[in-house]
Amino acid sequence: MNNYLSISLEVQKALREGKPVVALESTIISHGMPYPQNVETALRVEQTIRDNGAVPATIAIIGGKLKAGCSPEEIEYLGRKGQAVTKASRRDLPVLLARKEDGATTVTTTMIIAAMAGIRVFATGGIGGVHRGAQQTFDISADLEELAQTPVMVICAGAKSILDLGLTLEYLETKGVPVIGYGTDELPAFYTRHSGFGVDYRIDSPEELAAVFKAKIECGLKGGMLVTNPIPEEYSMPKETIDCAIEQALREAEQLGIHGKQCTPFLLAKIKDLTGGDSLAANIQLVLNNARLAAKTATAMCK
């Protein structure tokens, strides 16, 4: 076994017995929400996965160990430490491991550690993608490259609406990543169900999601699969409202010179303020919705 990988006893037992396991990221804990909502949400998401028949595996880097399955105490630790925890992408892993430091895993690093542990399904909020203005800045999330090479199904509420969604879809097509709409023909845009962009395929059941991913793996096709699961209708924000907040947040980020890995946390926090907290409530609900679907899909895979 990888000397740096630490799999919790619960997750080890589930994998050994062929039970469904769902990976969860930790950036949403340390960088995505304020304390204590971050810890409360993380524990609710874990419980939602249990309620739907699977075992949760919250993934993080703690003390230089790649953790596949965090304890409630470790989740509390990450939540309290907040943005003092390094937001860890692929490039950060060797340094954090060698220095025995902590890291909050992004979509990219959660996929890497999940694949190491043998976990095939991962539920998150939204993936990163091609940022607006990337023609000049070349600001493209490592999430897209990871989807192109690591065999994990990522279930999300679409790409974050702060991104250039059209270019994000073009990039995924170039990399051969199938973009599946769960119960929808349209790419959801995180806080809202509507983006105006189509997906590659629509699938309406966890069983078919599992069958498609199984076919991909058994054919030896490289990379993962992106499943976009729209936020429930009752929590979806009007597209005009969220677009207006995003435009204002982007202007402020540009004025302040914020870019790189600081960009997304700044924009999400600013959008929360501009929407009076509505975006945070929507964020929590979409993550819970994705956890439910991930647990059902992981269960279908095991069957």
Tell me 25's DSSP state: -
Beta strands per DSSP E along the chain: 5-7, 21-24, 55-62, 65-68, 86-88, 103-105, 121-123, 153-156, 179-182, 201-203, 225-228
Residue 25 appears among annotated catalytic residues: yes
Confidence of residue 261 (pLDDT cuts 50, 70, 90): low
Residue 272 appears among annotated catalytic residues: no
Residue span of the structural domain in which 167 resides = 5-302
Distance (Å, rounded) from C-alpha 279 to C-alpha 271?
7
Give DSSP secondary structure letters for 113-137: HHHHHT--EEE-S-B--BBTTHHHH
132 versus 25: which is more confidently predicted? Answer: 25
Nearest one of 95, 72, 64, 84 to 8, comparing CA atoms: 72
Total domains, the chain: 1
Residue 253 has what pLDDT?
84
Confidence of residue 277 (pLDDT cuts 50, 70, 90): confident
Tens of pLDDT, residues 49-98? 999 999 999 999 999 999 999 999 999 999 999 999 999 999 999 999 99
- 127 beta partners: 159
Tens of pLDDT, residues 130-173? 988 888 878 899 999 999 999 999 999 998 778 899 999 999 99
Confidence of residue 119 (pLDDT cuts 50, 70, 90): very high
Confidence of residue 41 (pLDDT cuts 50, 70, 90): very high
Task: Give me the chain's average pLDDT, please.
Answer: 93
Distance (Å, rounded) from C-alpha 285 to C-alpha 250?
24
Structure tokens at 244: 């207006």
End-to-end CA distance of the chain: 26
Element (H, E) at 263: helix 263-274
Nearest one of 118, 258, 103, 129 to 190, comparing CA atoms: 129
Other residues' Cβ atoms within 10 Å of the Cβ of residue 74? 19
Segment 260-274 shows an average pLDDT of 77
Q: How would you classify the pairing of strands 179-182 and 21-24?
A: unpaired
Residue 151 has what pLDDT?
98
Q: Measured at the alpha carbon of residue 112, what is the angle toward residues 106 and 115, in degrees to the nearest 5?
A: 130
The answer to whether 100 touches 152, Cβ cutoff 8 Å, is: no
Question: How many CA atoms lie less than 13 Å away from 222 in the CB half-sphere?
Answer: 6
Q: In this prediction, what percent of the chain has a pLDDT beyond 90?
A: 76
25 versus 33: which is more confidently predicted? Answer: 25
Instruction: Select which of 67, 74, 146, 160 is catalytic.
Output: 160
Segment 283-298 shows an average pLDDT of 96
Kindly give, in sequence order, each residue whose CB lies less than 8 Å from that of residue 163, ignoring residues fewer than 6 positions away: 128, 129, 130, 131, 132
Q: What is the CATH number of the domain that holds 175?
A: 3.40.1790.10
pTM of the model: 0.92
Q: How would you classify the pairing of strands 21-24 and 225-228?
A: unpaired
